[in-house]
Amino acid sequence: MSTNTSHKPVFERRESEARSYCRGFDTVFTSASGAEMTDVDGRTFIDFLAGCSSLNYGHNDPDMKAALLDHITNDGIAHGLDMMSDTKAQFLETFEKLILEPRGMDHKIMMTGPTGTNAVESALKLARKVTGRRDVIAFTNGFHGMTLGALACTGNAGKRAGAGGAPLCGINRMPYDGAFGDDVDTIGQMEMMFDNPSSGVEAPAAFLVELVQGEGGLNAASKDWVERLGRLAKKHGTLLIVDDIQAGIGRAGSFFSFDDMDVEPDMIPLAKSLSGFGLPFAALLIRRDLDIWKPAEHNGTFRGNTHAFITARVALEKFWSDDKFKNEIAEKAQILETRLQRIADMVPGAKLKGRGMMRGVDVGSGELAEQICGEAFRNGLIIETSGSFDEVVKVLAPLTIPVELFEKGLDILEKAASTCVEGHNIAAE
Amino acid sequence: MSTNTSHKPVFERRESEARSYCRGFDTVFTSASGAEMTDVDGRTFIDFLAGCSSLNYGHNDPDMKAALLDHITNDGIAHGLDMMSDTKAQFLETFEKLILEPRGMDHKIMMTGPTGTNAVESALKLARKVTGRRDVIAFTNGFHGMTLGALACTGNAGKRAGAGGAPLCGINRMPYDGAFGDDVDTIGQMEMMFDNPSSGVEAPAAFLVELVQGEGGLNAASKDWVERLGRLAKKHGTLLIVDDIQAGIGRAGSFFSFDDMDVEPDMIPLAKSLSGFGLPFAALLIRRDLDIWKPAEHNGTFRGNTHAFITARVALEKFWSDDKFKNEIAEKAQILETRLQRIADMVPGAKLKGRGMMRGVDVGSGELAEQICGEAFRNGLIIETSGSFDEVVKVLAPLTIPVELFEKGLDILEKAASTCVEGHNIAAE
Amino acid sequence: MSTNTSHKPVFERRESEARSYCRGFDTVFTSASGAEMTDVDGRTFIDFLAGCSSLNYGHNDPDMKAALLDHITNDGIAHGLDMMSDTKAQFLETFEKLILEPRGMDHKIMMTGPTGTNAVESALKLARKVTGRRDVIAFTNGFHGMTLGALACTGNAGKRAGAGGAPLCGINRMPYDGAFGDDVDTIGQMEMMFDNPSSGVEAPAAFLVELVQGEGGLNAASKDWVERLGRLAKKHGTLLIVDDIQAGIGRAGSFFSFDDMDVEPDMIPLAKSLSGFGLPFAALLIRRDLDIWKPAEHNGTFRGNTHAFITARVALEKFWSDDKFKNEIAEKAQILETRLQRIADMVPGAKLKGRGMMRGVDVGSGELAEQICGEAFRNGLIIETSGSFDEVVKVLAPLTIPVELFEKGLDILEKAASTCVEGHNIAAE
Amino acid sequence: MSTNTSHKPVFERRESEARSYCRGFDTVFTSASGAEMTDVDGRTFIDFLAGCSSLNYGHNDPDMKAALLDHITNDGIAHGLDMMSDTKAQFLETFEKLILEPRGMDHKIMMTGPTGTNAVESALKLARKVTGRRDVIAFTNGFHGMTLGALACTGNAGKRAGAGGAPLCGINRMPYDGAFGDDVDTIGQMEMMFDNPSSGVEAPAAFLVELVQGEGGLNAASKDWVERLGRLAKKHGTLLIVDDIQAGIGRAGSFFSFDDMDVEPDMIPLAKSLSGFGLPFAALLIRRDLDIWKPAEHNGTFRGNTHAFITARVALEKFWSDDKFKNEIAEKAQILETRLQRIADMVPGAKLKGRGMMRGVDVGSGELAEQICGEAFRNGLIIETSGSFDEVVKVLAPLTIPVELFEKGLDILEKAASTCVEGHNIAAE
C-alpha cells in the first residue's frame, strides 16, 4: 500500500472544506526541487503554478537552502517578534542597497504579519490615517486578500460572500484598465467623478491596484493607464498603493511591476516570493513621510519571519545584484508568449493575457480552461486557471526554470489544449 | 566596533515606526537556545517573553530542529499552497490522535493564513455564515488581531485608532468576567439583554473570548463564568469561539485553556506556539457540522506552512503524548505563583493575575511596571508588561525552562521589582 | 349602508401592510374634539392614546383652531421652505420668552424635517460633527425613529429587522436605568468602560436618551441616574441628547421631562405635541455653541410647518404662560396613579410604570395587556400597550382631559382589566 | 418701524445656522396666493421656486383652502396616527381612481413619515428586505434626503459631510445618464459590472433614481436610458425605485415623471406637491407583491397627515380628472423653453436643462447664476440655482401660474440675466 493511499483519508476526514488546491491536484507531494514536485508515488510534475507566484526562484533553491540550514544548525533566531537581529539587519541592508537605492526610492519597510492580506490591511489603515479620508478605490477583478479590510477591496463575489454578511464598507469600485473595452477612458471617468462635488464619489484615501491582476484574469494595465492613475492620485491627494504581492519580485518582468513606468507608488505591499523560498513573509513599503505609525499601532506575532530574512537576503543577492536575471526573465517571457499564441490560435476568440512571466490564454470558457488544466495535470504538469469565469489558463512557472524544462512543460500544455479543444469541438457539434 | 553598533542604524533608517519590541529591548540578537537569547555582544538574556507565548517550548528545540534540518536537507516541500503533502498528513494525523481523540473532540482543522488574526477572521466569517447573524460579541480587554474584522473585536483604543476611521462594525462589546468587579453578574446581564427583544442587543453570531487575556492584563475568566458563557451560547444559538492563540498550547496549564472546563467551543483559533518552533502557523478548529465553507471561500497563499507542520508534529509527539509535560507546567506554575506573590507583597494593592504559566503582577501603575521590566532587562531578563495601562508585569517564560534558570530569572525580576519599588516610593515621598 | 362599511375596503385594498393602529382600532373615524373621537357610525370614544402623545392638548383645541382658521382664511403662508415669515418669528419669539428664558436656556432652534426621527438624525449628525467621534450610546428599550441613523439607536428587534440588513452602525448599546435590576449601578459600569482604554467602548459623541421610555415600556429614569449621566457626559466630552419627543411638552409633568433635574441637555429633539394640534412639526434645540451647522448642511422641504407655527405658538401662550397647566397635570397624574394602582392590585406581580401623565401598568404579559386594551376599545376607550413584550397598558390621555371624562375612561379601563384578569385566571386554571 | 425690522432679529438670535433659504431671500413673508408671495412691507414677489416644487398648484389654492377650512371648522380629525378615517379613505379612493387605475398600476400606498427622506428610507428598507441584498445603486448628482439611509444615496459632498463621519454604507454610485458625456453608454457599463462575478459590484437591491435631478442640476434622463435601466433592473432582480418627490405630481409634464416611458417602477416615493397645499405629506407607492411589511415594521407618528388628505384629494380631483392640466403644463413648458433659450443665448456655452416645467439654464458658473437670482429677487422674483456648482438658474414656477404672470416673471429673469451677464463680461475684461 502506497503512502498516498494511507495519507489521503486524513485530509477528507480532518481538513476543512475550505481546502482547495488539493482537490484539483489529487496526489500527496513529498519533495520538490527547482521547477519540479514529486509525489508519494515517485511521480514528478513540472510546476507551472509555483505556489501562486510564491516560488519565483523555484523550490528549495540550493543557495537559500544552504544559508537556512546553516542558520538553523547554529541556533540562529527562529522567532524574535520584531526585536532587532543580525539577520533582519542584513535583510534590510540588502534590500536597501539592491532594491531601493538603485531606484532612488526612499521607502521605509514595515514588517507586517506574514500574509499578503496583512500587508494590504496595513496599507489601507495607514492610507486612511494619513489622509483622514475613509474610502479607498479598488478596481474590478482586483484581488487583495481575505481579511475583512482587504476582502472589501477584492472583487470576487464568491470570496466576498465568505464575509457572511459582515459589512464590506469603505470601498468604491472602479473599472480597471480595459474593463469596459479598449475605447473607454476609465481614468477620465474617475476624474470626472472627483471633479464633480455632487458625484457622490470623493477623491479617496488611496487607489489600491495590481498592475497585473493575478487572480482576476491576468489583466495587465497599460503603462499609460498606470501613469495617468499616478497623476490622478497626486492631483487629488490620493495615495497610490501598488499591490505587488503576485506581480512583483520579478514575475511581471522586473523586481517591481512598475519598474518601467513613470509612477511613484506611495505604498507597496509585498509577500509571496519575497522570502524567495516560499516561507511566509510579507512587508509593506511606505513612502518615508507617510510612515506616521505609532509604535505597535499595527502589531502581530510573526512580523518578520527570521528564517525568511535569510532566504530573502540570499535571493536578493543572487538574483537582483545585476540585470542578468531580469534579462533571463525577458527571454523566457518571449518563449512563453510565442508558445501561448500557438494555443490561442487553436481556440477561436482566444486572447493572450498578462505580461512578463505572468501570462495565460483566455480560452473563452471556464469549462474548457479547467479541462485543459486537468488534462495537463494527468500528464505531469501543475497548472491553474484564473479570471472571473476561470476562463484563463495561467502560466506561473518559476522564473528560474531551465528553458528545456519550460519547453517541456509548454509541450504538455499545448498537447492538453489540443486534446481538450478537439473534445470541446466535438461536444459542441 | 561591535556588530551591534554597525547594525542598529538600519532599523532606524529603514524599518517603519510601527516597530515596537526593538525599542524596549535595545540590542541586536543573533542566536537563541532553550530559554535564552544571545546578542551580538555575546550577552545572554533569560527570555520571559518567549515570543509572546510563541515559544512555549523554548528556542530551537533540538528535536524539532533535527527534524526540520532533515526535511530541508532532503528537499521536502517548503511551500505547497494547500496541496496535500506527507508532512501535512502527518501533522493532521498526530493532531487528531494526540489532541482531538483523547478529548472526544471531532473538530475539523482549517489551515488559515499563518497569523492569529487570520484564524480569528476565518472564525468570524464562518460564524456569520453559519448563523446568518451579523453581530459578534467580544469582551472588554480582548485582543484578537489587527486586520479589520479582528481589530473590531480588539478592545485596545490605540490599536483601534490604527484603523484610521474605517468602520469597526458588527461587534457588541460586553464586560469580561470581573470587569465590573467581582460581584457583578456579567453573564446574567448579557442574558437579560438577549431575553429582552427591545434591548437592541440580539443574541450574536458568536462570542469571541480568550480564557486568559494575554494582552488585556492577564485577566483569567473563572471556570464558572466560562461554563455559563458556554450554556448561554447554546441557549441562544450563538457559537462559542475560544481564542486560544496566546493562552493555548500549554500556556494556561494544559493544551487548551478550557481543558478542565465543561465547555465545548465551536471554534478555536490557534497560532503562536502551534508550530512549536516559532514559525508562522495558524489554524482554526471547527466543530464538524459547522464546516460549511465552500472550497477556497477563504483562501490565502501561506495556509499551511510546511516547515511548521514538521516542528508542530514533533512538538505534539514530544510534549503531549502523555501527562508529563502538563504536570511539569503545573509545578512551574506553582513556583511562579509563589515568587510573584513575593513581588506583589512589595507593592501595596498589587494583585496576582493569570493562571498556569501565564501570570503576572498588577503593580498598580504602568510607570512602575515599565521601570521593573527595564531594570530586569538591564540585568539580563527579557520581560514585558500587559494590561490597559501596562500595569501588569507579565511572565511568559518558556514552559520548558529548566527550574534553576526559571528561578534565576525570577531572582532578577524580584530584585528589579525591589529596586524600582524603592525608587518609586522615594519619588512618591 | 354606513360610510364605515363602504370605506373600510380601500384600506385593505390599497394601504400598505405596514399600517398598524387601524388594525387594533377597527373603525373609521370622522371627527374629534378634546379627549374624544367619533367614528362614522356616530360612536364616540374616549382617547387615552392621544396620537401617541401628539395630542397633549386634545383634539381641535378651540383657540388653536380659531387661529389656524384665521390664518388660512387670510392666505397666510402654508409652505415657505425655511424662509422668514411673521408666523415663524412669532413662534420663535414665544418659545424664547415662555420656554427658554425662564429656564435660563440659551439654545438655538433648528427646524428639522417634521418628524421626530428627522430631529433625532439631526442631533446625531451634529453630535458627530462637533465631537469628531463616531459612536453614540443609546439605551436598552430606547425608541428614536425609523430612518437609518435613528433606527440604529432604537432597541426594538422587529423595527431593526425592517432595515433589511443595512448596517446599523455607530451605536453602542448600554443598559437603561434599572435594566439590570435596581441594584446594578449602570452609570458606574459605563464609567468603568470609558476609564479603561482597553474596554473597546470609548466615550461616545453623545448619549441619546429618553427620560421616560414611551415605546420601551414606560421606564422612567430616576433623577439621580439622569444627573449622573449628565455629569458622566460632561466629564468625557460627550454630548447629552434628551429625546423629549414623547415625554416632553408636558407629558411627563412639565414642559421638558428634565425640568426638575439638575442636568443641562446639549440637544433636545422635539416633535409630537410640539405643534399642539397634531400637525407634523419637529425641531431640535441645540446648545448655542454647538450650532456649527453650515447653511443647508441638513436641509429638507417641510422644515418649519407654517400652520404648525401658529398652533404651536397658541399652545405655548395658552398653557405655558404660568404654572397653572403644570399643576393641573400634577393633579391628574395623581388621579392616574391612584387608579392604575387599583388595576395593578388585580394582577399578582403587576407594577406601576412611568411618571406624570405618562403612566401604565405592567400586567406581566402582552397577551393580557392586549386583551385589556381590546376590551376597553369595545367599551369606548382608545388605549394601547407598550414595552418589550407589549406587557404594559399605557395611558396617554390628553393632558387637558376634563377630570370627569378622565375618570370615566379610567372606569372603562378598570372594568376591562377586571373582566380580562378574571378570564385570564380562568384560562390559567 | 416695520414688522420686518422687528421680526428679523429673532431668526439670527434663535434659529440654527442650518437655515438657508432665508439667507438669500432676505425678507419676512406674511401671505401668499397663487404664484405670488407678499412680505411684511407689502411687497409682492412672483414665486419661481414654489416651495422647491412643493407648491405645483400655487399657494392657497381656493378649492383646497375651502375644503380644508370646512374640515377644520367641523372638527375633522387633525391627527389620527394611521387609524382609518373618512378623509384618508377618500384620498385613497381618489388616488386609486384617478392615478393608479388609468395607468393600470396596482401599487399599494404606504403612508410614511411626512418627509421625502422618510419615503426614500422606507423604499430602501423594503428593497433590501424583499431582495435580501444589501447594496443599492444611486447615481451621480442624485438627491434623496438627509437622514442617514437616504443621505448615503445623495451625491452632494457638503450634505454628506453633515453625517459627521457616520458610515454612509450600502451604496454603490453609478454615473447618471450623460454624466460622462453623451457618447458613454453608462447602462452598458453597469451591465458589464453585473455580468462579471469578479467586478466587485453585484446587482443591487435597487436602483434609486430621479428622472429629472432637481437638486443635481436639472439633468433629465432620456427615455431610452430610463427604459434600459428598467430592463436592466428586471434582468437582474433589481428593484427600480423612481424618486418622484421633486419631478413628480406634474412638474416634469405629467403626474409621474415616467408617464410617457415604457417602464414600471417597483416603488415610487412621493412628497412635496403630493398634498397640493404645501402641507407635510409623503407616501411610497409599492408594487403590490413587494408589500411584505409587517404591521408597524416602519412606523412613525405623523404618517398620514389628515389635513393633507383633504387638500391632496381636492388637488387630484381638480387637476388630474382629465388631460386639461397636463396640456396646460405642456403649453407653459413650451413658453419656458423658448424664454430660457433667449437667456442661454446671452451666455456663451450656456445650456438648457431639464424638461416640462422643471427647466433651467446652465450659465456655466455658480457665481453668475447666483448674481442672476439675486438681481431677480431685488426685482420681485423668487428663484434659485441648482447643480454641482450652483451653475443652473432653475425655474420651478407653480404649474398653475397664469401665462401673463409667468411671462412677467420671465421678463424679470431675462432682464436680470442680461444685467448680470453684462456685469460679468465687464468684470472678465
Q: Quick count: other Cβ atoms within 10 Å of Cβ D127?
A: 26
Residues C292-296 have a mean pLDDT of 97
D-contacting residues in A 101-140 (Cβ below 8 Å): 134, 138-140
Fold of B77-319: Aspartate Aminotransferase; domain 2 (3.40.640)
Instruction: Quick: pLDDT tens for D394-403.
Output: 999 999 999 9
DSSP label at residue B100: I
Q: Find, in chain D, the residue whose alpha carbon is nearest to that of A160.
A: D200
Angstrom CA distances, D107 to B333, B376, C7, D110, D287, stand at 72, 77, 18, 10, 4
**Amino acid A194: pLDDT:** 98
**Amino acid A426: pLDDT:** 77
**Amino acid D1: pLDDT:** 33
Measured between CB atoms, does A209 come within 8 Å of chain B? no
Q: Give the DSSP letter string of C107-122.
A: -EEEE--SSHHHHHHH
Instruction: Quick: pLDDT tens for D44-91.
Output: 999 999 999 999 999 999 999 999 999 999 999 999 999 999 999 999
**Amino acid A1: pLDDT:** 33
Instruction: Quick: pLDDT tens for B177-222.
Output: 999 999 999 999 999 999 999 999 999 999 999 999 999 999 999 9
Measured between CB atoms, does B300 come within 8 Å of chain C? no
Cell of C379: 367599551
**Amino acid C425: pLDDT:** 78
**Amino acid A5: pLDDT:** 54
Measured between CB atoms, does C197 come within 8 Å of chain A? no
- The CATH number assigned to the domain with range A8-61+323-428 reads 3.90.1150.10
CA C73 from centre of chain: 32
**Amino acid D427: pLDDT:** 74
In chain B, what percentage of residues exceed pLDDT 70? 98
**From CA B306, how far away is CA A278, in angstroms rounded?**
9
Break chain D into its structural domains and give their ranges: 8-61+323-428, 77-319
**Amino acid B5: pLDDT:** 55
Task: Tell me the shortest Cα–Cα distance from B65 to chain D, in angstroms.
Answer: 44
Q: Give the DSSP letter string of C32-51.
A: EEBTEEEETTS-EEEESSHH
Owner of C-alpha cell 527595564: B374
The answer to whether B398 and B50 have CB atoms below 8 angstroms apart is yes
DSSP label at residue A251: T
Residue C266's pLDDT band (boundaries 50, 70, 90)?
A: very high
CA C40 from centre of chain: 28
Q: Which residues of C touch B139 (CB under 8 A)?
A: 200
Angstrom CA distances, D171 to A201, B30, C142, D134, stand at 11, 52, 27, 8
The answer to whether A46 and A405 have CB atoms below 8 angstroms apart is yes
Residue B48 phi/psi, 5-degree rounding, is -100, 20
Dump strand ranges (E) for A205-262: 206-209, 212-213, 219-220, 239-242
The answer to whether A9 and A372 have CB atoms below 8 angstroms apart is no
State whether ipTM is beyond 0.90: yes
Query: What's the mean pLDDT when you consider all of chain B?
Result: 96
Cell of B34: 532553550
Residue A107 host element (H or E): none
Q: Note whether B125 contacts A162, CB cutoff 8 Å.
A: yes
**From CA D384, how far away is CA D380, in angstroms rounded?**
13
Owner of C-alpha cell 393633579: C331
Measured between CB atoms, does C167 come within 8 Å of chain A? yes
Question: What is the three-class DSSP state of B414?
Answer: helix
Instruction: Quick: pLDDT tens for D288-343.
Output: 999 999 999 999 999 989 999 999 999 999 999 999 999 999 999 999 999 999 99
Sort residue B296 into left (φ over 0), alpha (ψ -120 to 50) or beta. Answer: left
Residue D428's pLDDT band (boundaries 50, 70, 90)?
A: low
Q: Note whether D165 contacts B169, CB cutoff 8 Å.
A: no
Q: Which residues of C touch D85 (CB under 8 A)?
A: 28-30
Residue C177's pLDDT band (boundaries 50, 70, 90)?
A: very high
Give the pairing type, strands D212-213 and D219-220.
Answer: antiparallel
Instruction: Quick: pLDDT tens for C302-348.
Output: 998 999 999 999 999 999 999 999 999 999 999 999 999 999 999 99
Query: What's the mean pLDDT when you consider all of chain A?
Result: 96
**From CA C32, how far away is CA C50, in angstroms rounded?**
11
Measure CB to CB from residue C163 to each of D32, D128, D130 and give the nearest one.
D128
Given a cut of 60, whether residue B326 has pLDDT beyond it is yes
Task: Tell me the shortest Cα–Cα distance from A43 to chain B, in angstroms.
Answer: 13
Q: Which residues of D touch A198 (CB under 8 A)?
A: 140-141, 155-157, 215-217, 387-388
Residue D424 host element (H or E): helix D403-428
**Amino acid C301: pLDDT:** 95
Q: Find, in chain D, the residue whose alpha carbon is nearest to that of A217.
A: D198
**Amino acid B428: pLDDT:** 67
Given a cut of 90, whether residue C1 has pLDDT beyond it is no
Q: Find, in chain C, the residue whose alpha carbon is nearest to that of A169.
A: C167
**Amino acid C5: pLDDT:** 54
**From CA B409, how far away is CA B339, in angstroms rounded?**
11
Task: Tell me the shortest Cα–Cα distance from C154 to chain B, in angstroms.
Answer: 7
Q: Which residues of D touch B169 (CB under 8 A)?
A: 167
Q: Note whether B140 contacts C193, CB cutoff 8 Å.
A: yes
Instruction: Quick: pLDDT tens for C331-340.
Output: 999 999 999 9
Q: Which residues of A touch D219 (CB under 8 A)?
A: none
For chain A of 429 residues, list the mean pLDDT of each consecutive stretch of 10. Answer: 65 97 96 98 98 98 98 97 97 98 98 98 98 97 98 96 92 97 95 97 97 97 98 98 98 98 98 98 98 97 96 98 98 98 96 98 97 98 97 98 98 97 78
Measure CB to CB from residue C156 to each of B141, B180, B198 and give the nearest one.
B198
The answer to whether C236 and C137 have CB atoms below 8 angstroms apart is no
CB pairs under 8 A between A and B: 426
Measured between CB atoms, does B164 come within 8 Å of chain D? no
Task: Tell me the shortest Cα–Cα distance from C268 to chain A, in angstroms.
Answer: 30
CA A61 from centre of chain: 20
Q: Quick count: other Cβ atoms within 10 Å of Cβ A272?
A: 29
Give the pairing type, strands D171-174 and C84-85.
Answer: unpaired
CA D406 from centre of chain: 20
Q: Note whether D167 contacts B165, CB cutoff 8 Å.
A: no
**Amino acid C423: pLDDT:** 84
**From CA D227, how far away is CA D247, in angstroms rounded?**
17
Task: Tell me the shortest Cα–Cα distance from D154 to chain A, in angstroms.
Answer: 7
The answer to whether B362 and B392 have CB atoms below 8 angstroms apart is yes
CA B81 from centre of chain: 26
